[in-house]
């Protein structure tokens, strides 16, 4: 037997905080050694943090990474254990994203990334060059200070593997796993048995299965040990890295770390018999045949043994049932952990939320409540870092610390109901009940006096006083009166956030939380600079449908029973007067349902549909119930308001990224914000198609063949593009 003990980890790194990152790296190595592991794998770019972005262009960043690596190597951290560290490296004129493979105070080789992540949220080609020389390892001259400290002048650099006396080990970095021809395929044919994947992979709803299937598929038909390490937490931006460090052997998951956690360091141990890998490969005839005529990959010799022989004291890791969270749990725990990292690292003393009693702001309140529950639970489990952060933020004294989530919420969470004459007693009551269930410090404020003062000022200046539409006013008056309320709420929210701590003799400030969802952002159904404008928004890329499901789940599983009543209430902005014959409803206001918005969003972003392609796809999807003209009207209506309101995305509150059709303008959905909202060319083409279909007297709900396509589209097919709303395609890491 060749028994091997491996350690992979989730690390909560912080971009550009080298002290924090180095501390976590050292702790992970110490835990790996304590467990007896001989391989320790860390996340991609763990020394600098993955989210440094344009800081990677600064020479200081690269130099600091070398300084940290030097500290790791001159100490005893790498004694007796193979460690893979992620950091940027400059070779000649190029900057590479690298894994530094070290052991016994020496660098064995440097492996640059060959295929860079450059779509969705990723822009690696902006900062790094892809390594292109696959046929040889080149010589890399180490920086002078490193060379002198290690008594080592140079090191092999490039694509290859390390041949130990008893096994072969190679790195495969993040995106490389997901390429059409991944490196592990030919590395396996060259005899590599252990693959180390260092990643910087962010959370997205329903995405984990894609990742795990990739690990298992990599070794199912080729054999091998696949180690995966990831960041976990908010490292300084909109993304939450969701950990889930794992080890897979021959297609079976044998070790899995947490996906959502407040821990800064989590080490996952697996104990493996490498003979199982050799046995599987030897039993597959096609593997043997392909290995006999393989393309040779260069390697570095390391005269060390990593494995132990037969030893009953080492229990082998057995296959596990994969742990998946439901989408509702992902909405609770992902943004909850992200908020905790943001709170403890921003210097703020807590959060302030404008709580309307509606679904969206109630979701945000529930997520903060969940965060408080996670903090108390982690402290009870003995996490000293979480305890220290909670004591500092909650301003506990005399040895006290949080033991009750409601008591902790009272210290760090303000909610404010900012009602007007248009607000109902029902929403006011629901906001207060929910705040009490969570434990928040709740305020009930009337903004009518402020609005009246502004209108009086306007009347003094112009001689006119606007009226609501239900009272005979124009559309411009009606919209202006709604915008005044929304923007006053933003101003008051920031005023309360900065001054309420002072009122209660607390130092610091509170972060204002936003609560607009991804569908509202896509349609532009929000006022620019209204109460959705905040410091951060934990639900900004989550759909209304998912949020409603989350409310039902949270009512039971988080213990906030009032959420069930909130979910059942029809969505309304409550910005217009309530009359016996009129009440303002979101979906009526928008001219489309939230379900339709979700479909439009997925087709526009995930399946890259313009107006024409969207019309054709929706003819198949909705053809059984709508005529081509009705479909055309809906598509035109969506694109009209999407383009009119796209400018609002330029000032959208930074939001937790959770959905693959997010319209967020900063980095994920890069499109212009000035459109010709009439879309003359595209809409004319749609009109031509409608006339053609009407001329053929085809009603899409009556043709048997089209009926079949329409039904198929509900499950994920149609016109080769696939209809929206079905499953979650792989849109990158």
Residues 550 and 417 in one domain: yes
Residue 502 lies in a domain: yes
Amino acid 588: pLDDT: 84
In a domain, 701, yes or no: no
Task: Choose between 666 and 282: higher pLDDT.
Answer: 282
Structure letter (DSSP) for residue 328: H
CA 575 to chain centre: 32
Calpha distance 407→192 (Å, rounded): 54
Average pLDDT on 160-183 reads 96
Residues 282 and 326 sit within 8 Å (Cβ to Cβ): no
Does residue 554 lie within any of the structural domains? yes
Give the distance, in angstroms, between the CA of residue 395 and the centroid of all CA atoms in the same chain: 30
Q: What is the CATH number of the domain that holds 506?
A: 3.40.50.620
Which run of H or of E encompasses 492? helix 475-503
> CA gyration radius for the chain?
28
Residue 655 inside a domain? The answer is yes
Beta bridge partners of 599: none
- The reply to whether 139 falls in a domain is yes
| Known catalytic membership, residue 83 | no
3-state class (DSSP) for residue 334: helix
Does position 582 have pLDDT exceeding 90, yes or no?
no
The verdict on 150 and 298 lying in the same domain is yes
Query: Tokens for 460?
Result: 């003094």
Element containing residue 22 per DSSP (H, E): helix 18-34
Measure the CA–CA gap between 553 and 333, rounded to whole angstroms.
13
**Residue with token string 């990739």:** 214
pLDDT at 583: 64
One of 5, 31, 33, 113 is an active-site residue; which one? Answer: 113
What secondary structure letter does DSSP report for 666?
Answer: T
Catalytic pick from 33, 44, 98, 576? 44
312 shares a domain with 433: no
Kindly state whether residues 383 and 531 are assigned to the same domain.
yes
Rounded percentage of the chain residues whose pLDDT exceeds 90:
82
540 and 673 in a single domain? The answer is no
Least confident window among 248-257, 473-482, 581-590, 692-701:
692-701
With H, G, I as helix, E, B as strand and everything else as coil, classify residue 549. Answer: helix
* 81 falls within a domain: yes
Check if 565 is active-site: no
**Mean pLDDT for the stretch of residues 665-679:** 84
pTM of the model: 0.90
Geometric angle at alpha carbon 544, from 538 and 546, rounded to 5°: 80
Q: Are 109 and 136 in contact (CB under 8 A)?
A: no
Catalytic residue status for 275? no
Domain span at residue 310 reads 3-324
User: Nearest to residue 416, comparing CAs of 393, 449, 440?
Assistant: 440
End-of-domain residue from the set 278, 308, 324: 324
Rounded-to-integer distance, Cα 12 and Cα 49, Å? 9
Query: pLDDT tens, 18-41?
Result: 999 999 999 999 999 999 999 999
Does one domain contain both 320 and 334? no
Q: 270 Cβ partners below 8 Å, 6+ apart?
A: 5, 6, 8, 225, 227, 247, 249, 254, 255, 317
Q: Is residue 174 annotated as part of the catalytic site, yes or no?
A: yes
Task: Determine the pLDDT at residue 531.
Answer: 76
Active-site residue among 174, 234, 307, 363? 174
Q: Based on the domain organization, do 27 and 150 belong to the same domain?
A: yes
User: pLDDT tens digit string along 505-514?
Assistant: 988 999 999 9
> What is the predicted pLDDT for the residue at 714?
29
Same domain, 219 and 367: no
Residues 82 and 159 placed together within one structural domain of the fold: yes
Pairwise CA distance, residues 353 & 531, whole Å: 9
Which CATH number belongs to the domain containing residue 118 in this structure? 3.60.110.10
pLDDT tens string 523-545? 988 888 987 799 999 999 999 99
Do 269 and 372 fall within a single domain? no
> Angle at which helices 475-503 and 448-462 pack, to 10 degrees?
130
């Amino acid at each position: 037997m060749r028994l091997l003990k491996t350690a992979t980890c989730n690390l909560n790194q912080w971009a550009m905080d080298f002290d924090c990152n180095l501390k976590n790296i050292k702790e992970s190595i110490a835990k790996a050694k304590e467990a007896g592991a001989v391989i320790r794998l860390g996340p991609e770019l763990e020394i600098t943090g993955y989210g440094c972005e344009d800081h990677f262009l600064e020479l200081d960043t690269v130099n600091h990474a070398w300084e940290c690596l030097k500290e790791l190597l001159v100490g005893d951290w790498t004694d007796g254990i193979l460690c893979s560290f992620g950091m940027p490296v400059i070779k000649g004129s190029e900057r590479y994203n690298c894994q530094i493979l070290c052991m016994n105070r020496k660098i064995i080789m440097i492996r640059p990334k060959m295929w860079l992540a450059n779509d969705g949220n990723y822009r690696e080609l902006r900062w790094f060059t892809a390594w292109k020389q696959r046929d040889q390892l080149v010589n890399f001259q180490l920086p002078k200070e490193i060379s002198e400290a290690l008594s080592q002048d140079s090191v092999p650099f490039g694509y290859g593997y390390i041949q130990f006396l008893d096994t072969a080990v190679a790195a495969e970095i993040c995106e490389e796993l997901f390429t059409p021809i991944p490196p592990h395929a030919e590395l396996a044919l060259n005899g590599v048995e252990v693959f180390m994947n260092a990643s910087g992979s962010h959370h997205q709803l329903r995405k984990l299965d894609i990742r795990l299937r990739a690990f298992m598929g990599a070794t199912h038909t080729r054999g091998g040990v696949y180690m995966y390490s990831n960041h976990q937490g908010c490292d300084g931006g909109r993304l939450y890295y969701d950990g889930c460090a794992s080890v897979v052997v021959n297609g079976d998951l044998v070790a899995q770390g947490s996906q959502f956690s407040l821990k800064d360091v989590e080490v996952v141990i697996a104990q493996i018999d490498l003979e199982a890998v050799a046995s599987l490969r030897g039993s597959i005839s096609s593997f043997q045949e392909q290995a006999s005529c393989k393309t040779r990959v260069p390697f570095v010799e390391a005269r060390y043994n990593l494995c132990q022989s037969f030893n009953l004291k080492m229990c082998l890791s057995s296959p596990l049932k994969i742990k998946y969270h439901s989408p509702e749990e992902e909405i609770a725990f992902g943004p909850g952990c992200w908020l905790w990292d943001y709170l403890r690292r921003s210097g703020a003393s807590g959060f302030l939320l404008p709580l309307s009693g509606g679904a969206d702001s109630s979701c945000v309140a529930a997520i903060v409540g969940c965060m408080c529950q996670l903090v108390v639970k982690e402290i009870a489990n003995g996490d000293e870092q979480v305890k220290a952060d909670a004591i500092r933020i909650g301003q506990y004294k005399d040895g006290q610390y949080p033991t009750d989530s409601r008591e902790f919420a009272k210290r760090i969470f303000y909610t404010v109901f900012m009602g007007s004459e248009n607000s109902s007693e029902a929403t006011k009551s629901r906001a207060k009940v929910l705040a009490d269930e969570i434990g928040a410090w709740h305020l009930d404020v009337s903004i009518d006096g402020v609005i009246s003062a502004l209108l009086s000022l306007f009347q003094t200046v112009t001689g006119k006083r606007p009226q609501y539409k239900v009272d005979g006013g124009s559309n411009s008056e009606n919209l202006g009166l709604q915008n005044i309320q929304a923007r006053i709420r933003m101003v008051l929210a920031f005023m309360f956030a900065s001054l309420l701590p002072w009122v209660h003799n607390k130092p610091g400030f509170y972060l204002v939380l936003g609560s607009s969802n991804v569908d509202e952002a896509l349609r532009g159904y929000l006022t620019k600079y209204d109460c959705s404008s905040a410091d951060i928004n934990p639900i900004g890329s989550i759909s209304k449908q998912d949020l409603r499901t989350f409310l039902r789940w949270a009512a039971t599983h988080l213990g906030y029973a009032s959420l069930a009543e909130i979910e059942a209430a029809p969505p309304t902005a409550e910005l217009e007067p309530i009359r016996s014959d009129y009440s303002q409803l979101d979906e009526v206001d928008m001219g489309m349902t939230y379900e339709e918005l979700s479909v439009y969003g997925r087709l526009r972003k995930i399946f890259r549909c313009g107006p024409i392609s969207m019309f054709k796809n929706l003819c198949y999807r909705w053809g059984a119930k709508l005529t081509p003209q009705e479909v055309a009207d809906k598509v035109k209506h969506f694109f009209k308001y999407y383009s009119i309101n796209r400018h609002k995305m330029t000032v959208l509150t930074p939001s937790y990224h959770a959905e693959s059709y997010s319209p967020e303008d900063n980095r994920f959905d890069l499109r212009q914000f000035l459109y010709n909202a009439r879309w003359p060319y595209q809409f004319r083409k749609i009109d031509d198609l409608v006339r053609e279909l009407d001329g053929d007297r085809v009603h899409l709900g009556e043709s048997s063949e089209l009926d079949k396509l329409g039904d198929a589209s509900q499950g994920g097919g149609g016109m080769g593009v696939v209809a929206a709303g079905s499953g979650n395609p792989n849109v990158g890491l």
